[in-house]
Chains A and B, each alone.
Chain A
């Protein structure tokens, strides 16, 4: 498969009064053409910063790309000037944001906000752009697009606004769509509709999607591959099946165990990961997850775990995969779903030594 986007060892920090916050600490992943990669993690894990860095949308300063490459179609976006980025944003990479209520300009007609992209990137005349905007509104499932195109965002409901945002993001057929928690602010029925719409459009247009979310239910529904982020690092990455049926990192176990399922009865309390993510001004020594990890060993507090490869597509950074580590049992909720996957190697292989 052809790689559309490849992020290599990306490090992003923010200069604040309290010191330097290392929001993203060496993240590497890739997105193939036409596939959907989900990035999951709790708030503050760096998933939004990662995605906005790809678009170079983080304010600089205080933000800074300290290290790494973002190869998009073979070109490094980190080295691009602002002017060059303007030609990529909206044209080759589109983005949908979390809150549709605030991400459209309240004093500009919805149609005009779509037309802007078309006029800028497709060299359309205003009349052509308007026609295309109506088509796009129809494509994203907005009824009476001829009328809607002349309306303002406040005349749209939340779900409709997110549809309009999708129309904006897809207006110039981008190769990559970054969706930053696009359904978090919507109620569940609308969520399902929006996800269906995105899948449908992806099939029609062949767009790759980076889907950022903390909702594992959405991940199972949407993604081809999943990257689990914690404290600015990817701790586990694999195909959907690998993450859901053969998770290896204790953080992934924690996430999966805290997901409510239909067969859990109401007497049992929903599991939660105790504690909160570390302060990234002073990232902890060793494994950042260790203080919250019931399986933590002494080495977790001293040395960062190496990256292990469990199959061609499955990576995890945890000491538990080390040959010398004791064998541990994942939580009950995770154990129930474990399956033997034939693609796994006989033994995890270390691909990157710990630093």
Chain B
């Protein structure tokens, strides 16, 4: 097991290196730079700025410089936010995005799995149809419409929750729900179809022939097997949700990481683009590793390569 994780970490470093390299060169290949704007800067000032940030040096020097500083977890200064480093941005934005993301993830998994199971157990009855109508709506309604709708109904009309900003736990609920709607719907559909498939398996009939009740069959024999596809979807989902959603953060005025990511691209803020991309990649890779480990724990048939036989 440890050997397996060690090997996977090695592969993660390799992927990370490839991601850094690809982003670095793609970014430089795009026309324009951090200091090209509507108003052209005087050439002397631009030269000074380029010199200050080291943009005048040959690309290979910049590239290797960047690699060494990243290895020391130093993402460099931001070009646009004067006096702030990329590390500062991540340190202030990530905890917010992480909290919001985890909350949304809990809602999505909890509600999604529950809805999916209810739908599957009542296959082709009204509960099934209701859950699936919800799922179709949840998938097709964009999150910003959902967000505005929640704000309008729950915050403005009913006054149950605050409209926006990031101050107390109450402030986190609406954005978390808005962020979770799509994934909830998707997980519900996924759980339903995989549950239906599991319920038609021979071992469910065996369980029934043992005299187990419907509840016991569902809990002991069906859910664990039905959750496998949900778990594999959880990797990319959690990475996506935890790193924040630009749209939701904008609508609710949340100081998360998502807005930095999107704005940095239009700003050509090289170090922020790089820093946030690398950071996101690390989280995505870690989430996928966690999912793979969880997979091995849920399904005994999956042997994590590197583990000894019979362990």
Complex: how many Å from CA A113 to CA B217?
Answer: 12
The 8 Å CB contact of B213, one of A86, A99, A104, A105, is: A86
* From B201, B205, B210, B225, residue with most partner A Cβ within 10 Å: B210
Knowing A105-B203, A116-B220, A168-B206, say if A91 contacts B300 (CB, 8 Å): no
A104–B212 contact, CB under 8 A? no
Knowing A97-B202, A103-B202, say if A152 contacts B300 (CB, 8 Å): yes
Taking CB atoms and an 8 Å cut-off, the chain A residues in 104-153 that contact chain B are 104-108, 113, 116-117, 120-121, 152
Taking CB atoms and an 8 Å cut-off, the chain A residues in 77-95 that contact chain B are 82-83, 85-91, 94-95
Knowing A97-B205, A103-B206, A106-B299, say if A120 contacts B221 (CB, 8 Å): no
What's the minimum C-beta distance from A88 to chain B, rounded to whole angstroms?
7
A90–B203 contact, CB under 8 A? no
Knowing A116-B212, A120-B211, A168-B210, say if A108 contacts B220 (CB, 8 Å): yes
Q: Does A237 contact B (CB under 8 A)?
A: no
* From A99, A106, A154, residue with most partner B Cβ within 10 Å: A106
Q: Does A209 contact B (CB under 8 A)?
A: no
Q: Does B298 contact A (CB under 8 A)?
A: yes
B224–A55 contact, CB under 8 A? no
Chain B residues with Cβ under 8 A from A86's Cβ? 211-213
Chain B residues with Cβ under 8 A from A89's Cβ? 208-211
Q: Does B207 contact A (CB under 8 A)?
A: yes
B209–A99 contact, CB under 8 A? no
Chain B residues with Cβ under 8 A from A168's Cβ? 206, 210
A95–B300 contact, CB under 8 A? no
A57–B208 contact, CB under 8 A? yes
The 8 Å CB contact of A95, one of B209, B221, B224, is: B209
Q: Does A102 contact B (CB under 8 A)?
A: yes
What's the minimum C-beta distance from B154 to chain A, rounded to whole angstroms?
40
Knowing A106-B203, A107-B300, say if A117 contacts B225 (CB, 8 Å): no
- Chain B: residues with Cβ within 8 Å of the partner, total of 21
Q: Does B39 contact A (CB under 8 A)?
A: no
A106–B301 contact, CB under 8 A? yes
Chain A residues with Cβ under 8 A from B301's Cβ? 106-107, 152, 154
- Chain A: residues with Cβ within 8 Å of the partner, total of 32
Interface readout for A52-90 with B: 1 if CB under 8 Å, 0 if not? 000101000000000000000000000000110111111
A154–B300 contact, CB under 8 A? yes
B209–A55 contact, CB under 8 A? yes
Q: B206: nearest residue on chain A (CB-CB)?
A: A103
Knowing A107-B224, A107-B225, A154-B301, say if A121 contacts B205 (CB, 8 Å): no
* From B207, B209, B221, B301, residue with most partner A Cβ within 10 Å: B209
Interface readout for B219-243 with A: 1 if CB under 8 Å, 0 if not? 0110011000000000000000000
Complex: how many Å from CA A64 to CA B187?
Answer: 34
Complex: how many Å from CA A283 to CA B225?
Answer: 40
What's the minimum C-beta distance from A144 to chain B, rounded to whole angstroms?
13
Chain B residues with Cβ under 8 A from A108's Cβ? 220-221, 224
Q: Does A165 contact B (CB under 8 A)?
A: yes
Complex: how many Å from CA A116 to CA B300?
Answer: 19
Chain A residues with Cβ under 8 A from B207's Cβ? 105, 116
Complex: how many Å from CA A103 to CA B224?
Answer: 16
Chain A residues with Cβ under 8 A from B211's Cβ? 85-91, 117, 120-121
Chain B residues with Cβ under 8 A from A103's Cβ? 202-203, 205-206
Chain A residues with Cβ under 8 A from B300's Cβ? 106-107, 152, 154
Chain B residues with Cβ under 8 A from A107's Cβ? 224-225, 298-301
Interface readout for B163-207 with A: 1 if CB under 8 Å, 0 if not? 000000000000000000000000000000000000001110111
Q: A56: nearest residue on chain B (CB-CB)?
A: B208
What's the minimum C-beta distance from B78 to chain A, rounded to whole angstroms?
49
Chain B residues with Cβ under 8 A from A120's Cβ? 210-212
Q: B209: nearest residue on chain A (CB-CB)?
A: A95
Q: B301: nearest residue on chain A (CB-CB)?
A: A154
B221–A90 contact, CB under 8 A? no
Complex: how many Å from CA A108 to CA B211?
Answer: 17
Interface readout for A150-177 with B: 1 if CB under 8 Å, 0 if not? 0010100000000001001100000000
Chain A residues with Cβ under 8 A from B201's Cβ? 102
Knowing A120-B210, A152-B301, say if A102 contacts B202 (CB, 8 Å): yes
Q: A92: nearest residue on chain B (CB-CB)?
A: B211
A90–B205 contact, CB under 8 A? no
What's the minimum C-beta distance from B290 to chain A, rounded to whole angstroms?
19
What's the minimum C-beta distance from B197 to chain A, rounded to whole angstroms?
12
Complex: how many Å from CA A243 to CA B301?
Answer: 46
What's the minimum C-beta distance from A11 to chain B, rounded to whole angstroms?
22
Complex: how many Å from CA A86 to CA B206?
Answer: 13
B210–A104 contact, CB under 8 A? no
Complex: how many Å from CA A55 to CA B208?
Answer: 9
Chain A residues with Cβ under 8 A from B298's Cβ? 107
Complex: how many Å from CA A161 to CA B176?
Answer: 47
Q: A94: nearest residue on chain B (CB-CB)?
A: B209
What's the minimum C-beta distance from B208 to chain A, rounded to whole angstroms?
6
A117–B210 contact, CB under 8 A? yes
Q: A88: nearest residue on chain B (CB-CB)?
A: B211
Complex: how many Å from CA A82 to CA B299?
Answer: 31
B221–A165 contact, CB under 8 A? no
Q: A109: nearest residue on chain B (CB-CB)?
A: B300
Cβ contacts A to B, 27 pairs, < 8 Å: A88-B211, A89-B210, A90-B211, A94-B209, A95-B206, A95-B209, A97-B205, A102-B201, A105-B206, A105-B225, A106-B225, A106-B299, A106-B300, A106-B301, A107-B224, A107-B299, A107-B300, A107-B301, A108-B220, A108-B224, A113-B206, A116-B207, A116-B210, A120-B211, A152-B300, A154-B301, A165-B206
- 10 smallest A-B Cβ distances: which pairs? A90-B211, A89-B211, A90-B210, A102-B202, A95-B209, A103-B202, A105-B203, A152-B300, A86-B211, A103-B206
14 more contacts with CB within 8 A, not counting A82-B214, A89-B209, A103-B206, are A85-B211, A86-B211, A89-B208, A95-B209, A105-B225, A106-B203, A106-B300, A108-B220, A116-B212, A116-B220, A120-B210, A120-B212, A152-B301, A165-B206
